[in-house]
C-alpha cells in the first residue's frame, strides 16, 4: 500500500480547483485600501462638481463683483404690457467702518438677524433649523434662516425670487465672500447698503434721515430701531408707523439681552428712540399708481442693488382710458378718484385726482371719505346671512321711534316693499331697519370679512355709510362679490410664488351660492333699474350708488365684463358739491364712460349728455387766455370776455335777449350765445 500524499502546510494556499484558471498575479486589496480608493473617487467627484458650479457662477453671477463697490439701487416700474411707468433712484451716503461704530450698533443687527455671524462660514445650519422649527409651530409669523453674508450675497448678485436655484447660488456666493473678505468687511458692506425704508439705503443715510446724526453717535434705542426695520422696511418705517417701529425695536433690545450684549437692567432703563427726521428731496414719480406701488416694489426687491425692472399689474391702455374719463367729466372745482381692478385684486388703473402735478395726494388710497349708500352692500349681505331673501318685505316708511330717525332722500317713501326694491331705490329707512333686525355687530362682521379695515361706528348710522373708508377698500369689497370669494386684496405687483403653508394660511373663503346669487340680484337691480341706471351697459352691470349728507361725496362702485371700478367725486375741504350732486349722476356717468371703453363696449352718449359734457368739460379746464388787452375766463357758471374796462358775460342757460354784459351791451339784434345746462340728476333714496 502506497503512502498518502503529505498534507499542505496550514499557511499555504489551497490547490486550485479544476477549471479555476491560473492564480492571480496581484494580491487582493485590503479593506483600508478599498476605502481609500472610494474616498478618492468621491473627492474627485466633489471637486469636479465644485468646478462646474464655479463655472456656472462665473457666467450667471461674476464673483469678481464681490470685491467691487456695490452700485446704488434704482427701480424701474413697468406696466403689465411693457410701458415704463416710473424710475426712481435712492437716498444713499458714505459707507460705514466697523472700527468707528459703537459696539452696540453691530450687536443690534446681529441680535435680530444673525447672532452667530462671527462663528459660521456664511451658512448657519443651526439658524436654519431654528427658523424652520419656529415657522412650523408659530401662529403665522415667520423667521428667516439667512445669515448676514447670505443677505449680502443676494443683494450683490441675485434677484429676490425664492426658487431653489437662487438659494443654491446664494449659498455658494456666501462661501466665496467668506473666503475673500474678512468678517468686518462683510458686515461693513451689509450695513452700508441694506434698505431702511423711505427710499433710504445704507446705515449712514438712515441714521441721518431718521435721527439727524451720524451712525457713529447712535444710541442703543436708535440702533435697535434701525435694526428692526430690516424685517419690513416700508411697513415699519417710523415716519409712517412709529408705533410699529418702536414695538419692533423692543424685540431687538430683548434679543440683545438674550444674546448677552446688554443686561436686562440696561434694557429696562432704555427709553424709546425719538425721531428727528431730516427732510430729503423726494422727486415725484409722476403717477398716483407709481407712488402707491413703489413701497411694495422696494420691499420685494429687498437689498438687491443696481438697476432693477419690476413689472406691475397696471394696464397702460386702461389707465389712459381712466385718465381721459376723469378729464371729460363735468367736475368744475371738485376732485375725483378712480380705481379699477380685476376680481382678484390686480389693480389695472388708478387715478388719485384731476392733476398730479398740482397735488400728488392720492384720493383713491390715502383719502378716507364716507361711502354713503355703497355701504348698504354689507347690510343686505348680513340680512341674507340671517336667512332673509330679496323677496322679503320691509317697511319703507318714516321711523318715528328711538333717538336715531333717518329720512329718505327727498322725503320719498314707498310703504311696504321688497328688499330688492329697497336696495334699488337706496332706501335709508329700510337699511336702518335691517341693521336693527340683524344687529350692528353682524353688519360690521360682513364688512370685515370683505376686507374693510377702517374703524367703523357701532351704531345704526353705520347702515348709511357714515364711517370713513378709503375708496380702494370699497373696490376690494365689490371685487369679492365679483369673484365669489373673500377677502380680495388690492395689489399693484403680481403675487409672489408662495409655499404650501403660506397658501393655506391666506386661502379665501367662498360665498354660499344662495347668498352670492341674491346679492348679485340686488346689485343688478340697482345698476340697471335703480339709482345707478345711468351706469348701465349692454353687458351685465352690477353696482351701487352712494351720496353722503349735503352731497359732500358722490360715489359709484360696480363691476362688468370682468372689471371692478370705483369712482368718487368730492371737495378736498369736505364742502358740499354744487347742485346736490349724487352717486347716480356724474360718478355713474364717469363709470359708464370709462367701463364701456375699457371692456370694449363703446358708449353712445345722449344728445343732452353730449351738450352738457362739452360745456362742463370746457368749464372744468378754467381757461384764462390773454389776447392783448382782452382776456377770456371760463368757469362752471358761464363765460366772461373782458375787453379793457368792459366785460361781456355769457351765463349758462341764459335766454336770448337777457342782459349779459356790464359796461357795454352786445350789438343790437345779436343775442348772446345760449349755453344749455344739464338738468339736475336726482338719486332717490341716498343719504
Report pLDDT for 462.
96
In this structure, is the dihedral angle defined by the CA atoms of residues 667, 671, 675 and 678, taken in order, positive or negative?
positive
Q: Which long-range contacts (CB under 8 A, 24 or more apart) does 402-411 make?
A: 404/432, 404/459, 404/460, 404/461, 406/432, 406/460, 406/461, 406/464, 406/687, 408/684, 408/685, 409/547, 409/582, 409/682, 409/683, 409/684, 409/685, 409/686, 409/687, 410/682, 410/684
DSSP state of 26: S
- What residues contact 93, with CB distance under 8 A and at least 6 apart? 202, 204, 205, 208
Report pLDDT for 108.
97
Residues 528/536, Cβ–Cβ less than 8 Å: yes
Please state, in angstroms and rounded to a whole number, the distance separating the CA atoms of residues 284 and 444.
37
CA angle, corner 601, sides to 595 and 604, nearest 5? 90
Nearest to 374 by CA among 473, 285, 286: 473
Angle between helices 203-211 and 220-228 (to 10 degrees): 120
Angle between helices 607-621 and 316-328 (to 10 degrees): 90
Q: How far is CA 52 from CA 30, 48, 56, 495, 646, in A?
A: 34, 6, 6, 34, 87
Q: How far is CA 146 from CA 135, 167, 396, in A?
A: 14, 10, 63
Tell me, letter by letter, the H, E, C secondary structure of 81-97: CCCEEEEECCECCCCCC
Report pLDDT for 139.
46
Please state, in angstroms and rounded to a whole number, the distance separating the CA atoms of residues 3 and 19.
28
Residues 214/189, Cβ–Cβ less than 8 Å: no
Report pLDDT for 181.
86
Neighbours of 454 (CB within 10 A): 12
Phi, psi of 335 (to 5 degrees): -100, 170
- DSSP letters along 370-439, please? --GGGGHHHHHHHHHHTT--TTSEEEES---SSS-----GGG---EEEEHHHHHHTT-HHHHHHHHHHH-
Angle between helices 104-113 and 220-228 (to 10 degrees): 30
Pair type for strands 74-78 and 307-311? parallel
Place of cell 443677505: 151
Q: Tally helices (H) and strands (E) across the chain.
A: 22, 19
Tell me, letter by letter, the H, E, C secondary structure of 255-288: HHHHCCCCCHHHHHCCCCCCCCCCCCCCCCCCCH
Cell of residue 6, nine digits: 503529505
Residues 401/661, Cβ–Cβ less than 8 Å: no
Residues 620/364, Cβ–Cβ less than 8 Å: no
* Residue 297, H or E segment: helix 288-301
- DSSP letters along 480-499, please? HHHHTEE----BSSPPPP--
Phi, psi of 538 (to 5 degrees): -65, -35
Domains of the chain: 92-134+141-269 (1.10.3810.10), 322-599 (3.40.710.10)
Neighbours of 234 (CB within 10 A): 20
Residues 329/322, Cβ–Cβ less than 8 Å: no
Phi, psi of 429 (to 5 degrees): -65, -35
Residues of the chain with pLDDT under 50: 1, 11-12, 18-19, 67, 69, 135, 138-142, 158-164, 607-609, 611-636, 642-646, 652-687
pLDDT tens digits, residue range 368-395? 999 999 999 999 999 999 999 999 999 9
Cell of residue 592, nine digits: 359708464
Mean pLDDT rounded to a whole number for the chain: 80
Please state, in angstroms and rounded to a whole number, the distance separating the CA atoms of residues 119 and 342.
50
Cell of residue 583, nine digits: 352717486
What letters, b where the CB count within 10 A reaches 16 and e where it falls short, cover 490-527? Answer: bbbbeeeeeeeeeeeeeeeeebeeebbebbbbbbbbbb
Cis peptide before 493 (omega within 30 of 0): no
Report pLDDT for 632.
44
First to last CA, the chain: 135
Neighbours of 205 (CB within 10 A): 23
Please state, in angstroms and rounded to a whole number, the distance separating the CA atoms of residues 432 and 271.
49
3-state helix, strand, coil in the chain (%, to 5): 45, 15, 45
Look at the chain and count its residues. Answer: 687
Amino acid at each position: 500500500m502506497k503512502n498518502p500524499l503529505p498534507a499542505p502546510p496550514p499557511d499555504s494556499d489551497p490547490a486550485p480547483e479544476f477549471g479555476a484558471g491560473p492564480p492571480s498575479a496581484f494580491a487582493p486589496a485590503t479593506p483600508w485600501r478599498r476605502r481609500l480608493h472610494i474616498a478618492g473617487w468621491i473627492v474627485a467627484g466633489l471637486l469636479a462638481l465644485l468646478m462646474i458650479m464655479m463655472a456656472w457662477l462665473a457666467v450667471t453671477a461674476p464673483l469678481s463683483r464681490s470685491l467691487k463697490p456695490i452700485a446704488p439701487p434704482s427701480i424701474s416700474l413697468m406696466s403689465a404690457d411693457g410701458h415704463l411707468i416710473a424710475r426712481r433712484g435712492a437716498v444713499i451716503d458714505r459707507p460705514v467702518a466697523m472700527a468707528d461704530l459703537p459696539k452696540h450698533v453691530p450687536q443690534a443687527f446681529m441680535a435680530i438677524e444673525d447672532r452667530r455671524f462671527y462663528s459660521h462660514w456664511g451658512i448657519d445650519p443651526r439658524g436654519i433649523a431654528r427658523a424652520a422649527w419656529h415657522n412650523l409651530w408659530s401662529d403665522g409669523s415667520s423667521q428667516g434662516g439667512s445669515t448676514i453674508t447670505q443677505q449680502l450675497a443676494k443683494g450683490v448678485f441675485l434677484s429676490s425670487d425664492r426658487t431653489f436655484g437662487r438659494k443654491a447660488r446664494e449659498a455658494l456666493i456666501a462661501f466665496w465672500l467668506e473666503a475673500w473678505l474678512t468678517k468686518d468687511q462683510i458686515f461693513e458692506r451689509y450695513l452700508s447698503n441694506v434698505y431702511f425704508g423711505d427710499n433710504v439705503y445704507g446705515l449712514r443715510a438712515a441714521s441721518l434721515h431718521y435721527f439727524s446724526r451720524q451712525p457713529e453717535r447712535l444710541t442703543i434705542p436708535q440702533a435697535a430701531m434701525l435694526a428692526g426695520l430690516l424685517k419690513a422696511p416700508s411697513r415699519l418705517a417710523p415716519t409712517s408707523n412709529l408705533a410699529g417701529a418702536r414695538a419692533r425695536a423692543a424685540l431687538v433690545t430683548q434679543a440683545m439681552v438674550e444674546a448677552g450684549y446688554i443686561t436686562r437692567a440696561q434694557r429696562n432703563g432704555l427709553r424709546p428712540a425719538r425721531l428727528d427726521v431730516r427732510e430729503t428731496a423726494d422727486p415725484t414719480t409722476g403717477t398716483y399708481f407709481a407712488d402707491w406701488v413703489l413701497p411694495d416694489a422696494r420691499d420685494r426687491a429687498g437689498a438687491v442693488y443696481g438697476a432693477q425692472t419690476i413689472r406691475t399689474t397696471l394696464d397702460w391702455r386702461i389707465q389712459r382710458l381712466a385718465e381721459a374719463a376723469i378729464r371729460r367729466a363735468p367736475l368744475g372745482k371738485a376732485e375725483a378718484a378712480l380705481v379699477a381692478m380685476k376680481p382678484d385684486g390686480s389693480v389695472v388703473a388708478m387715478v388719485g385726482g384731476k392733476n398730479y402735478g398740482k397735488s400728488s395726494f392720492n384720493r383713491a388710497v390715502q383719502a378716507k371719505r364716507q361711502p354713503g349708500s355703497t355701504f348698504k352692500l354689507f347690510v343686505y349681505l348680513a340680512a341674507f346671512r340671517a336667512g332673509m331673501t330679496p323677496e322679503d318685505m320691509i317697511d319703507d316708511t318714516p321711523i318715528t321711534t328711538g333717538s336715531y330717525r333717518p329720512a329718505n332722500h327727498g322725503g320719498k317713501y314707498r310703504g311696504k316693499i321688497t328688499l330688492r326694491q329697497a336696495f334699488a331705490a337706496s332706501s335709508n329707512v329700510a337699511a336702518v331697519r335691517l341693521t336693527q333686525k340683524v344687529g350692528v355687530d353682524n353688519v360690521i362682521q360682513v364688512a370685515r370679512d370683505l376686507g374693510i379695515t377702517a374703524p367703523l361706528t357701532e351704531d345704526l348710522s353705520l347702515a348709511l355709510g357714515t364711517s370713513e373708508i378709503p375708496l380702494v377698500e370699497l373696490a376690494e369689497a365689490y371685487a369679492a362679490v365679483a369673484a365669489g370669494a373673500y377677502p380680495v386684496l388690492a395689489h399693484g405687483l403680481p403675487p409672489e410664488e408662495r409655499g404650501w403653508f403660506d397658501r393655506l394660511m391666506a386661502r379665501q373663503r367662498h360665498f354660499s351660492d344662495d347668498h352670492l346669487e341674491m346679492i348679485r340680484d340686488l346689485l343688478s337691480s340697482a345698476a340697471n333699474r335703480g339709482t345707478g341706471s345711468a351706469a348701465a351697459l349692454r353687458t351685465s352691470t352690477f353696482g351701487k350708488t352712494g351720496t353722503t349728507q349735503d352731497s359732500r361725496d358722490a360715489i359709484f362702485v360696480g363691476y362688468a365684463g370682468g372689471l371692478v371700478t370705483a369712482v368718487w367725486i368730492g371737495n378736498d375741504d369736505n364742502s358740499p358739491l354744487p347742485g346736490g350732486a349724487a352717486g347716480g349722476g356724474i360718478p355713474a356717468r364717469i363709470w359708464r364712460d370709462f367701463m364701456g371703453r375699457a371692456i370694449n363696449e363703446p358708449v353712445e352718449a345722449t344728445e343732452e349728455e353730449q351738450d352738457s359734457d362739452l360745456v362742463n368739460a370746457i368749464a372744468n379746464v378754467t381757461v384764462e387766455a390773454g389776447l392783448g388787452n382782452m382776456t377770456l375766463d371760463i368757469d362752471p357758471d358761464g363765460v366772461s370776455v373782458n375787453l379793457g374796462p368792459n366785460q361781456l358775460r355769457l351765463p349758462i342757460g341764459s335766454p336770448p335777449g337777457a342782459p349779459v354784459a356790464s359796461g357795454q351791451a352786445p350789438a343790437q339784434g345779436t343775442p348772446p350765445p345760449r349755453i344749455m345746462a344739464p338738468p339736475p340728476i336726482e338719486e332717490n333714496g341716498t343719504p
